[in-house]
Chain A
Amino acid sequence: MMRFLGVAIMVAICLAFAGGLALTVWQIAGTPAPVNLPHLLAENLDASGVDHPITAVLLNFRSYDTLLEIGVLVIAGIAGISMAKTTSLEDPDLRTSDSLLYALQRWFVPLMLVLAGYLLWAGSDRPGGAFQAGAVLAASGVMMRLGGIPMDFLRPGMLLRFGLALGFSVFLLVAVASALAGSAFLAYPEAFAKPLILIIEVVLTFSIAMVLLALFVSAPVNRTEEPEEGEAG
């Protein structure tokens, strides 16, 4: 009986939520928005340094959001490697020796690297950019790891931490340099907007791939744990 009641309440909550959401969306769809942001964006696109509106929003108009989001990714990477069990994240036990995978990898990895480079460059005038390119780069890293190609930089040492932080650091330095030059935080000088955005995209691609890969490889959890304060250790 209690169980039935619990299920009934859950169903009622879900229905109320879905109903409220549907009603609100219906009402919003019926009224035009008073501020036309896409139009405003199109007007200012020339000043942004890139030709694709999404890249312009992510790396110029709302670059502060992107800077902090990259910070979130770095935090996720840090939290992941802080729990890593092995001193080398490259555990030989986890390798597969599948000859089919090995053969495929010889074709796929170079292709994926080229694809990542293309996605990165495409971001300037069509959908693409650092996040997509980073994801593809990380995927090829995952493949290489499964195929047993040694990747020494994945040790939780200096190199890994430097790689995690590189994209974020360059972005932050550009931000503070513009502030030191006398304008606001993250205000690129208009003449340098395109090259600056390109540099940021390249290092971000690298760091995003590094974070994703580090999270994949560091999945096993620390066994030498710390006891709770005041408990016998």
Chain B
Amino acid sequence: MTLGLMAGLLFTPLAWAVLTLLVDFRKGRVVTWLGMAVQMLVSLGLWAVVASDGGFLYLLGGWQAPLGIELRVDGLAVTFVLLTAVVAAACGWHASIYLDPDKAWHRYFWPLFWFLWAGLNAVWLGGDLFNLYVGLELISLAAVGLVALGGQADALRAAIRYLMAALLGSLAYLLGVALIYGQFGTLSLAGVTALLNSAEVPAGLSFALVLMLLGLALKTALFPMHGWLPPAHGIAKSPVSALLSALVVKASFYIAARLWLDLGGHLGSYALAQLIGALGGIAVIWGSWLAFRQVKLKQVVAYSSVAQIGYLFLLFPLTWGVSDAISLQAQQGITLQVISHALAKAAMFLSAGNLIMSVGSNRVDALAGVSRFLPFSLFSFGLAGVSLMGLPPTGGFAAKWLLLQASLASGQWWWLGVLLAGGLLSAAYVFRVYQASFIDDTDIDHFFHPSRSLEVIPMILALLSLGLGLMAEPVLSVMSLPFEAGRGQ
């Protein structure tokens, strides 16, 4: 049962990538619907298995680490696998209606979409440093291909910039991996952690950790390395932007977080943790301020991603040198932030796409009067905004509440200012969009009406992000399940 589910999880996205490569957009759409249903069922099944029996190791090819590659299927990984299934299925469904099937290049959307999904699952489950690198490459290249898909010079420029940033980040990470391998002779993350715990820490390896974190921070668009993100996320088609902001940037952050939690205790330092946290804090303030100043609607949402990613990096100071209870609280807060931001940001980009489609312009001030014609999409946008601001009962609130408690309990009160200012500033840029849409004195009275399904999808995601605050307990309990290394196989 478990083996079948694992095989299904690994096989489906890759197989569907090939299938959709062979057919055109319309047939690819039907094939994809089927694949999304399969992938959803498999992800749910795996989540249920882990929720009832605990996590396990999956040996690929039947070879044990360090010779082979092991997948670590624990509560956190399956939670993210399920999150990916929900968000990617929503974006895929939206794209199947939103993209114009008569444009020849859109046929390549589906294979890239499925490869992206496969890469994300590979990263959530990966327990091998080099395999994680391969997963990152899969994600980056598929994402760059999606940004560039059929675009004009601007889109190509943004895509190339994105590619360069992603490659530089990957190379820095890979150099760090090579140093770790040189020191320990193994690539298995669990193996390296065990060796660090048992023997005395070799001097100089902190450089390897710093290199890996630097590369991953660049790929996650941490301030001041965020310059590539807004052009790429802003110019891509809305379902693509949603995938990129909701899931792709989280993959590199997830690896950075796991490295930090496993190796940071030995190789990290207080100064490094505080520095990363400070950059995250500046990202929250500066990103929100820039989001407030943007002229184009999707740039507002893209800069809001820069800000929301900043919160994630508070994980580093809040888990370094604190008690296990506080560290767990911080980890739970960050996990909730990842999930709620993924749901809310996907909802926001998809509804922004609907709004742009409706008014025929991508400027914020062109939204005047749209509140009467497209209340449903505007409402989804606002609901997602409520979660970003961190108002109760949303997932964003639950996340920030946990982070607030962790900051106070660890005596790092200075992060409170970041949490409060970030909430207020996000309220400012969400209300600015609302203010523009409620202006009623324009003469424009013809709006294009997107189909009902296009409006339903962001609504579902926004409601999920709203309800996450209420369901936080069960979600967190699966995430923190004990991991039994002996089970499986």
- CB pair B3 A179 closer than 8 Å: yes
CA distance A175 to B406 in the complex (A): 45
Q: Which of B83-91, B337-345, B358-366 contacts A (4 or more CB under 8 A)?
A: B358-366
Residues of B within 8 A of A67 (CB): 14
Contact of B183 among A21, A23, A33 (CB under 8 A): A33
Residues of B within 8 A of A40 (CB): 66-67
- CB pair A75 B7 closer than 8 Å: no
- CB pair B61 A75 closer than 8 Å: no
Residues of A within 8 A of B60 (CB): 63-64, 184-187
CA distance A78 to B145 in the complex (A): 8
Given that A24-B208, A184-B3, A222-B150 are contacting pairs, would A31 and B69 also be in contact in the complex, using a CB cutoff of 8 Å?
no
- CB pair B185 A231 closer than 8 Å: no
CA distance A188 to B60 in the complex (A): 10
B188 to A, closest residue via Cβ: A35
CB within 8 Å of B: which A67-95 residues: 67-69, 71-72, 74-76, 78-79, 81-83
Q: Which of B131-139, B219-227, B275-283, B314-322 contacts A (4 or more CB under 8 A)?
A: B131-139
Given that A33-B183, A37-B66, A82-B145 are contacting pairs, would A176 and B7 also be in contact in the complex, using a CB cutoff of 8 Å?
yes
B204 at the interface (CB under 8 A from A): yes
CA distance A27 to B203 in the complex (A): 7
CA distance A28 to B184 in the complex (A): 9
B13 CB, min distance to chain A CBs, angstroms: 10
B195 at the interface (CB under 8 A from A): yes
Q: Which of A137-145, A146-154, A163-171 contacts B (4 or more CB under 8 A)?
A: A163-171
- CB pair A79 B205 closer than 8 Å: no
Given that A82-B149, A165-B21, A226-B151 are contacting pairs, would A34 and B141 also be in contact in the complex, using a CB cutoff of 8 Å?
no
How many chain B residues touch A (CB < 8 A): the figure is 82
Residues of A within 8 A of B207 (CB): 20-21, 23-24
Q: Which of B134, B154, B205 has the most CB of A within 10 A?
A: B134
A64 to B, closest residue via Cβ: B60
Given that A71-B17, A165-B18, A179-B3 are contacting pairs, would A229 and B356 also be in contact in the complex, using a CB cutoff of 8 Å?
yes
- CB pair A225 B18 closer than 8 Å: no
B378 CB, min distance to chain A CBs, angstroms: 16
A191 at the interface (CB under 8 A from B): no
Residues of B within 8 A of A222 (CB): 105, 150
| In the A-B complex, the 5 residue pairs with the closest CB atoms | A230-B362, A33-B185, A79-B145, A179-B7, A187-B62
28 contacts between A and B (CB under 8 A): A21-B207, A24-B179, A24-B205, A27-B203, A37-B66, A37-B186, A40-B66, A61-B67, A65-B69, A68-B134, A71-B138, A72-B137, A78-B108, A81-B108, A82-B145, A82-B150, A83-B156, A172-B15, A172-B18, A179-B7, A184-B59, A185-B7, A186-B61, A227-B152, A228-B154, A229-B238, A229-B357, A230-B297
A contact residues vs B (CB 8 Å cutoff): 20-21, 23-29, 31, 33-37, 40-41, 44, 60-65, 67-69, 71-72, 74-76, 78-79, 81-83, 158, 161-162, 164-165, 168-169, 172, 175-176, 179-180, 182-188, 221-222, 225-231
14 new A-B contacts at CB < 8 Å, known A23-B204, A35-B184, A76-B141? A20-B207, A37-B66, A71-B14, A74-B17, A82-B148, A165-B21, A168-B18, A172-B15, A184-B3, A185-B10, A185-B11, A225-B151, A226-B103, A228-B155
